[in-house]
């Protein structure tokens, strides 16, 4: 549900008003009140909202048997919900923390500067959408009510529905829930395209310790229109597509081959709304001294496009790539409506979005040249030099630290509200019964070869694509600690050097390989990490293949060539070997520069590193390396290391396979099984690829500790991590109980932490806990939040008190029942949400020696958990006397004294 009112309608002295109202609306409508979160999540759904310059959006996703509930919720946002003074004050604290989080994001700062340049400082479209502390403090209940009554009306709204529903049914249910609302005949519809005062100065700089250096070219364009959108989609890809893009080859790939790379990254993109548009080109320089050279290269490429447009090869490659991307989008049940929605918001006919692929193919080279001539005028472009050495922000930040107006600490000693049976009954009553959706996977075929290779197969012909998901033994736990960072180099090297078949002499360099993948619509990814919701596996590597079903035969042949004949292993052909060696040297140099840059601008890594170091010994899997050690490891890596790693970790694997999508059993038997048999029988078996479970073994409980990590700059948000090692494993009797306990503690918007520390005290914008039970090991129990450093001590105190209360008193029956329903329904929604997800689940089941009955029996296993089971798991998972607390502190902030928290830990 979209209201065509956003931050552009905020009063000048109360920026953030529309966003503030969105927060309050999400807290509960008239019908559902404070039960809204529980009503949605108990049915396996989710809802959220967002505020933009000129619209505010509310959306929810629910099982299809809860369509009526979905429309009752959305219509509730137009149905006078009550705003209380107390709620307004609490929300000020929450938004205050969100402001800190946004200010921590360098993109937000750059975006603000671009707004000043393109619109002028005082134009409504350049308003601060989230507001600042001063403007938020001025917003009153009366302001919010007036905005709501004026803007949240049917003649200012658009509703989108996507899913398994017919048009007649949709019309009837919309009429049922929305026909009672009256229009606002005096709705204010200002023309924001007027009054724009773009800056007359073309050269600009922005400096800040927290920013990543970059050079941005901004070319003003017309408001959103259909044809420009299609042209820009082709042009953006043609300019910066990896390996083939004009600018990529000019600034990164082409120049780097001669040892003169100018940029670490390059991106081009077009964005337009119903008022104005822009085409932007952003480059991340290797060295600030290269800015003039980068600008010269950008200018040269633009002039070439204006004169000659694109080559026929560029056109074909780009169209093939976009076509495959749009077809893959159809695997998502919400892709079409999201695209249509973006058109509607921007004042274009939404139906055009559904035929954009067809019209994309009608774009000509003359269209490309015309677009470039109309918009890409170098002498009229804005150039923004983003520098990461500024000092201005620290001064304003020190001033902000003195503001305690959003610390809602009068509630600190108030007992937190606990979800009880009365609230559970209210939730189920307001939901009018629970969704009947169940966790299940049906229609699975198991196809077996003569040598025992097996494929799990599910046919689905609705979209012309299919997915192959494979797993092989080893995975991240097979990787020795000294090889972990080296593998990032290996994956890049394999992707960059292509194939060489010594038997046939056939050579596919990366560009040839990429063109073939593009033409076929083939997507191939493989590696040594495999994280998924249903089965977090660290003891297997993965391979994901997706292709257009019409190109299945050629795609499988190409995939086999890529996997079995990497150019990396060629030693007899000197030219191929030299090419690989040269490429490795370039990759290594680039990675060293990237990690050096991250060491300067990544302000959370040191906090995370300190936390892991306090919990785990050297070489433990969950011990995080510092950037310095990563740099040392990369610097010492050789090409022989790359060959050794490939032979150790990628060759000789017994692959387990699942296939889902538009194919049939005959194709599996005739094409896929022979490839699987060939792979599993021909590889030289290695002994070094077994998972080393000692790397995730239980560790001694650490002593309680508190550590303050001083940031290298004035990052405006403090990051806080609280936790301890955990020893509950995936096959542990307490496994499911631990997941439920974590769900209640900090697993979502119904959790104790979210409701206490965010909703009641208003100290943080977001807070969550996590636990990672694994096969033969487990990750840490961890609580994570970011907050205004001024509130760090209060937020930690509130969190520690809540942990201690849970440890001493446990959870309520109502909390357990709510968590059971949330987990069961959400797994049911995600288990077969799309073909890719289904394939992942099937592959993970094979990996663990299970079948679809494991998933289909999850409901029963979850229902069997008792309150005693929950208490036992909680006391194993959370160890109050062994907690580690790590908090970051901005460079100029006053030191945060947390030492009295030791008393709370040991009490």
User: Strands 655-661, 454-459: parallel, antiparallel or unpaired by DSSP?
Assistant: parallel
What's the confidence (pLDDT) of residue 871? 94
pLDDT at 413: 66
pLDDT at 196 over 70: yes
β-pairing, 777-778 vs 773-774, is antiparallel
Confidence tier at 741 by pLDDT (50, 70, 90): very high
**CA separation for the pair 270, 167 (Å, rounded):** 34
Nearest to 393 by CA among 790, 714, 788, 786: 714
- Give all strands (DSSP E) within 596-669, no chain letters: 655-661
Mean per-residue pLDDT for 739-760?
Answer: 92
With contact defined as beta carbons under 8 Å apart, do 743 and 764 qualify?
Answer: no
Give the torsion through C-alpha atoms of 167, 170, 176, 181, to 10 deg: -100
Least confident window among 157-161, 620-624, 889-893: 889-893
Is residue 902 very low, low, confident or very high in pLDDT (cuts 50, 70, 90)? very low
Is pLDDT at 718 greater than 70 in this prediction? yes
Predicted confidence (pLDDT) at residue 468 exceeds the cutoff of 80? yes
Q: Which of 127, 146, 646, 660 is nearest to 441 (CA)?
A: 660
pLDDT exceeds cutoff 80 at 682? no
Q: What is the mean pLDDT of residues 812-831?
A: 90
| Interval 758-782: pLDDT, tens | 888 888 888 999 988 877 778 899 9
Which CA distances in Å does 201 have to 118, 386, 431, 503, 804? 11, 16, 57, 62, 58
Mean pLDDT of 696-706: 87
Cβ burial 6-35 (10 Å sphere, 16+ → b, else e): bbbbbeeebbbbbbbbbbbbbbbbeebeeb
**Secondary structure (3-state) at 644:** helix
The pLDDT-based confidence of 904 (bands split at 50, 70, 90) is very low
Which of 598, 600, 696, 580 lies closest to 642, judged by CA? 580
Among residues 56, 380, 375, which one has the least CA distance to residue 229?
Answer: 375
pLDDT above 50 (res 80)? yes
State both tokens at 302.
């633009």
pLDDT, one tens digit per residue, over 650-673 is 765 667 788 999 999 999 998 988
Residue 573's CB: how many other CB atoms inside 10 A?
A: 14
**pLDDT interval class at 533 (50, 70, 90):** very low
Lookup result for tokens 């690829």: 689
- Contact criterion met (CB below 8 Å) for 603 and 715: yes
Higher-pLDDT residue of 251 and 339 is 251
CA atoms within 13 A on the CB side of 389: 2
CA Rg value for the chain:
28
What sign does the CA torsion over 278, 283, 288, 289 have?
negative
Q: What average pLDDT does the segment 740-762 reach?
A: 91
End-to-end CA distance of the chain: 49
User: So what's the pLDDT on residue 147?
Assistant: 94
pLDDT at position 208:
73
DSSP bridge partners of 709? 888
User: Of the segments 207-216, 773-782, 846-855, 868-877, which one has the largest average pLDDT value?
Assistant: 868-877
- Tokens standing for residue 411: 């509630």
- 533 or 877, greater pLDDT: 877
Q: How many CB atoms are located within 10 Å of the residue 482 CB?
A: 12
Residue 255, pLDDT > 80, answer no
Contact status, residue 66 vs residue 36, Cβ threshold 8 Å: no
Q: Cα(192)–Cα(124) distance, rounded to whole angstroms? A: 7
Give pTM, 2 decimals.
0.83
Element (H, E) at 417: none
Instruction: Tell me what pLDDT residue 142 has.
Output: 93
∠ CA 736-740-742, rounded to 5°: 115
- Is pLDDT of 407 > 50? no
Q: Which of 653, 562, 614 is nearest to 882 (CA)?
A: 614
Task: Please give the distance of CA 733 from its chain centroid, rounded to a whole number.
Answer: 32
> What is the mean pLDDT of the segment spanning 260-266?
83
Pure H helices in 404-509: 421-431, 484-497
Which pLDDT belongs to residue 890? 74
- Examine the pLDDT at 258 and tell me if it is beyond 60: no
Task: Output the DSSP codes for 816-860.
Answer: HHHHHHHHHHHHHHHHTSSHHHHHHHHHHHHHTT--HHHHHTHHH
Q: Helices 552-564 and 673-682 sit at what angle, rounded to 10 degrees?
A: 10
Taking the C-alpha atoms of residue 823 and residue 582, their distance in angstroms, rounded to an integer, is 51
The whole-number pLDDT of residue 106 equals 59
State the DSSP H helix or E strand holding residue 8, giving kind and residue range, or none if neither: none
What pLDDT score was predicted for residue 531? 38
Min mean pLDDT across 16-25, 26-35, 410-419, 632-641 is at 410-419
DSSP state of 74: H
Q: What is the mean pLDDT of residues 889-903?
A: 59
The answer to whether the Cα torsion of 724, 727, 728, 733 is positive or negative is: negative
CA 290/CA 293 separation, integer angstroms: 5
Report the pLDDT value the prediction gives residue 689, as an integer from 0 to 100.
Answer: 65
By C-alpha distance, which of 794, 603, 635 is closest to 715? Answer: 603
How much is the mean pLDDT over the chain? Answer: 85
Percent of the chain's residues with pLDDT above 90: 40
Per-residue pLDDT, 27: 81
- Residue of 774 and 431 predicted with greater confidence: 431
Out of 44-58, 101-115, 297-311, pick the least confident.
Answer: 101-115
The confidence score (pLDDT) of residue 905 equals: 46
Between helix 312-329 and helix 510-520 the angle, nearest 10°, is 50
For residues 623-634, average pLDDT:
90
Q: 826 or 219, which is more confident?
A: 219
Give Cα separations from 765 to 47, 377, 500 (angstroms).
Answer: 17, 42, 52
The token pair that represents 68 in the structure block: 């009526």
Which pLDDT score is estimated for 288? 81
For residue 814, the surrounding DSSP H or E stretch is helix 813-831
pLDDT band at 560 (very low <50, low <70, confident <90, very high): confident
Residue with tokens 């060295």: 287
Mean pLDDT computed over 298-316? 94
The answer to whether 756 and 785 have CB atoms below 8 angstroms apart is no
Q: Are 890 and 716 in contact (CB under 8 A)?
A: yes
pLDDT band at 835 (very low <50, low <70, confident <90, very high): confident
Q: Which two tokens stand for residue 38?
A: 């529980």
Pairwise CA distance, residues 45 & 25, whole Å? 18
In this model, does residue 901 exceed pLDDT 70? no
109 or 902, greater pLDDT? 109
Q: d(Cα 431, Cα 433) in Å, to the nearest integer?
A: 5
Q: What is the pLDDT of residues 570-580, one digit of tens each?
A: 888 999 999 99
Q: Which helix H or strand E contains 37, and what residues bound it?
A: helix 36-41
Q: Centre a 10 Å sphere on the Cβ of residue 770 and count the other Cβ atoms it contains.
A: 16
Sign of CA dihedral 409, 412, 414, 415: positive
- Which residues are within 8 A (CB) of 612 and not within 5 positions of it... i.e. 6 or more apart? 622, 623, 624, 780
């Amino acid at each position: 549900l979209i209201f065509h009112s956003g931050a552009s309608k905020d009063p000048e002295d109360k920026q953030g008003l529309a966003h503030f109202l969105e927060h309050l609306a999400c807290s509960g409508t008239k019908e559902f009140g404070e039960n809204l979160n529980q009503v949605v999540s108990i049915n396996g759904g989710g809802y959220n909202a967002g505020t933009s310059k000129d619209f505010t959006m509310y959306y929810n996703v629910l099982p299809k048997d809860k369509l009526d509930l979905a429309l009752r919720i959305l219509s509730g946002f137009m149905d006078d919900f009550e705003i209380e003074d107390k709620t307004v004050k609490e929300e000020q604290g929450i938004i205050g923390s969100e402001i800190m989080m946004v200010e921590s994001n360098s993109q937000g700062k750059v975006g603000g500067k671009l707004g000043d340049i393109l619109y002028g400082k005082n134009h409504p479209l350049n308003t601060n959408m989230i507001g600042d502390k001063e403007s938020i403090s001025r917003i009153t209940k009366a302001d919010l009510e007036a905005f709501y009554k004026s803007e949240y009306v049917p003649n200012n709204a658009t509703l989108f529905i996507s899913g398994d529903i017919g048009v007649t049914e949709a019309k009837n249910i919309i009429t049922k829930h929305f026909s009672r609302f009256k229009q606002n005949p005096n709705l204010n519809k200002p023309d924001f395209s007027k009054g724009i005062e773009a800056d007359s100065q073309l050269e600009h700089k922005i400096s800040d310790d927290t920013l990543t250096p970059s050079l941005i070219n901004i070319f003003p364009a017309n408001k959103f229109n259909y044809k420009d959108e299609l042209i820009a989609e082709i042009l953006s890809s043609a300019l910066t597509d990896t390996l083939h893009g004009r600018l990529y080859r000019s600034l990164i790939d082409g120049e780097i081959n001669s040892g003169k790379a100018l940029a670490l990254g390059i991106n081009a993109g077009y964005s337009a709304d119903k008022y104005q548009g822009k085409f932007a080109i952003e480059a991340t320089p290797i060295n600030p001294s290269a800015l003039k050279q980068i600008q010269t290269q950008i200018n040269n490429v633009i002039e070439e496009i204006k004169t000659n447009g694109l080559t026929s090869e560029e056109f074909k490659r780009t169209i093939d790539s976009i076509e495959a991307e749009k077809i893959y989008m159809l695997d998502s049940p919400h892709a079409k409506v999201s695209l249509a929605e973006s058109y509607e918001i921007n004042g274009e006919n939404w139906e055009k979005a559904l035929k954009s692929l067809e019209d994309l193919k009608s774009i000509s080279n003359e269209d490309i040249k015309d677009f470039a001539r109309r918009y890409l005028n170098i002498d009229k472009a804005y150039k923004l030099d983003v520098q990461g050495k500024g000092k201005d922000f620290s001064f304003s930040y020190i001033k902000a630290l003195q503001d305690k107006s959003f610390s809602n600490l009068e509630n600190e000693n108030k007992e937190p509200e606990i979800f009880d049976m009365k609230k559970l009954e209210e939730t189920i009553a307001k939901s009018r019964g629970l969704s009947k959706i169940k966790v299940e996977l049906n229609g699975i075929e198991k196809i077996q070869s003569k040598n025992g290779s097996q494929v799990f197969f599910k046919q689905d012909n609705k979209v012309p694509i299919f997915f192959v998901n494979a797993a092989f033994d080893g995975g991240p736990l097979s990787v020795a600690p000294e090889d972990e960072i080296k593998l990032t180099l290996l994956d890049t090297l394999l992707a960059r050097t292509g194939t060489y078949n010594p038997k046939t002499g056939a050579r596919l360099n990366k560009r040839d390989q990429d063109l073939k993948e593009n033409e076929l619509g083939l997507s191939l990814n493989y590696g040594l990490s495999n994280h998924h919701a249903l089965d977090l596996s660290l003891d297997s590597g993965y391979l994901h293949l997706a292709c257009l079903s019409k190109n299945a035969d050629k795609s499988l042949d190409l995939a086999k060539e890529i996997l079995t004949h990497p150019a990396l292993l060629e030693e007899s052909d000197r030219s191929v070997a030299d090419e690989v060696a040269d490429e490795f040297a370039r990759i290594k140099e680039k990675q060293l520069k990237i990690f050096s840059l991250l060491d300067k601008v990544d302000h959370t890594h040191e906090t995370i590193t300190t936390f892991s170091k306090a919990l785990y010994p050297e070489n433990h899997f969950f011990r995080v390396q510092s950037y310095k050690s990563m740099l040392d490891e990369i610097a010492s890596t050789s090409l022989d290391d790359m060959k050794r790693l490939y032979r150790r970790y990628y060759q000789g694997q017994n692959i387990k396979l699942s296939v889902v999508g538009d194919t049939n059993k005959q194709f599996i038997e005739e094409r896929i099984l022979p490839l699987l048999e060939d792979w599993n029988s021909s590889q030289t078996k290695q002994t070094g690829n077994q998972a080393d479970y000692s790397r995730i073994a239980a560790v001694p409980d650490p002593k309680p500790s508190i550590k303050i990590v001083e940031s290298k700059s004035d990052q405006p948000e403090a990051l806080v991590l609280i936790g301890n090692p955990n020893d509950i494993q995936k096959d542990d009797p307490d496994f499911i109980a631990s997941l439920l306990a974590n769900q209640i503690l900090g697993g979502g918007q119904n959790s104790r932490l979210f409701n206490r520390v965010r909703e009641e005290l208003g100290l943080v914008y977001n807070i969550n806990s996590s636990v990672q039970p694994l096969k033969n090991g487990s990750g840490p129990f961890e609580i994570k939040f970011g907050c205004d450093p001024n509130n760090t001590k209060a937020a930690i105190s509130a969190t520690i008190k809540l942990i201690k209360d849970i440890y001493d008193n446990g959870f309520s029956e109502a909390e357990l029942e709510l968590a059971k329903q949330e987990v069961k329904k959400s797994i049911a929604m995600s288990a077969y949400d799309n073909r890719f997800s289904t394939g992942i689940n099937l592959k993970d089941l094979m990996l663990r020696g299970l079948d679809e009955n494991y998933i289909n029996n999850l409901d029963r296993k979850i229902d069997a958990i008792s309150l005693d089971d929950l208490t036992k798991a909680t006391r194993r998972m959370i160890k109050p006397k062994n907690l580690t607390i790590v908090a970051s502190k901005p460079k100029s902030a006053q030191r945060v004294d947390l030492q009295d928290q030791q008393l709370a830990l040991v009490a």
